[in-house]
Structure 1
Amino acid sequence: MKTAVIYWSGTGNTEAMAKAAAEGANAELFEVSEFNGNAADYEAFAFGCPAMGAEVLEEDTFEPFFTGIEGSLSGKKVLLFGSYGWGDGEWMRNWYDRTKAAGAELIGDEGFIVNEAASDDDLAKLKELASKLA
């Protein structure tokens, strides 16, 4: 199964998570601005983005990318992950509901989130969860 992990990271926290997810899923890893593939070429995706502003996806790069790809997610396995520094995870719940409404087969109950930097235990859990994309 061809899988892509696509992420945006401002501080490196989500990047570390993306690397763990890519390892767990045996997937290709892309920073969002580097992905120029066709969604139809992949059967599964892991998307990573931290909470920004008032608990939203990063607005300049990741949100426009995700808006463009979400219509192609129907029937595909998708894992969502990211980190946050404030709030209660509303951005992930909204993103999860949005992705589910697009017809994706979501992995995990409500996405995978951590406060600030992921611990080694968090990264191991994410890696295991990402292995379900295969």
Structure 2
Amino acid sequence: MSKIAVIYWSGTGNTAMMANEIAAGIGSDAEVFSVDAFHGNVADYDKIAFGCAAMGDEVLEEAEFEPFFSAVEGSLKGKKVALFGSYGWGDGQWMRDWEDRCTKAGANLFDDGLILCGMPDADGKANCKAYGERFAAY
């Protein structure tokens, strides 16, 4: 069994919904945390799914998530990492930038980051659950 953390920031609840569906796809190995509630150590997890909505000019949320991610970024070498988040504008540049950061940090990046526009509908929820299933098997 793998120990898998799903750590996310959500301003409107859309990314939180994604996190919960991804965790449902992962199954009983998943531990879900909002970024402000995570007080553990990423080194204690075999895999980590990070979620953050696009903010501003397509960047990670700057008050809570960016400082958290910057602090753990150096611990991602060799770690299996998945990325996800919601957006309301743009073309996903924040996710491409985030993927590049993870790759440069030496993470074993799972697939392309999963992005959904706005609130996940039934198809979006199904995509999240399937993403979690595939990440659990990664």
Identify the TM-score tier after normalising by the shorter chain: over 0.9
3-state SS of paired residue (2:63):
coil
The CA distance in 2 between the partners of 1:73 and 1:131, in whole Å, is 21
Say which of 95, 101, 105 aligns to 1:102: 105
The CA distance in 2 between the partners of 1:55 and 1:70, in whole Å, is 19
- Please give the TM-score of this superposition, normalised by the length of structure 2: 0.92
Letter in 2 for 1:2: K
Matches of residues 40-119 of structure 1 in structure 2 within 5 Å? 40-108=43-111, 110-119=112-121
Mean CA deviation greater in 83-92 or 124-133: 124-133
Letter in 2 for 1:41: D
Q: CA deviation at 1:65?
A: 0.3
- Please give the TM-score of this superposition, normalised by the length of structure 1: 0.95
Q: What do the CA deviations read for 1:15-73 (whole angstroms, capped 9, x no partner)? A: 00000111111200000000000111101011110000000000000000000111111
Q: What do the CA deviations read for 1:85-132 (whole angstroms, capped 9, x no partner)? A: 111110000001111111111112x20001111121112112112223
RMSD (Å) for aligned C-alpha atoms: 1.0
Q: CA deviation at 1:5?
A: 0.2
3-state SS of paired residue (2:24):
helix
Which stretches of structure 1, 4 residues or more, deviate above 4 A after TM superposition? Answer: none
Calculate percent identity across the aligned residue pairs.
Answer: 58
Q: Give the aligned partner of residue 123 of structure 1.
A: 125
The CA distance in 2 between the partners of 1:74 and 1:23, in whole Å, is 26
The CA distance in 1 between the partners of 2:87 and 2:130, in whole Å, is 21
Unaligned residue ranges in structure 2 (runs of 5+): none
The CA distance in 2 between the partners of 1:132 and 1:45, in whole Å, is 13
The CA distance in 1 between the partners of 2:22 and 2:91, in whole Å, is 23
Contact in 2 for aligned 1:3/1:133 (Cα 8 Å):
no
The CA distance in 1 between the partners of 2:129 and 2:104, in whole Å, is 25
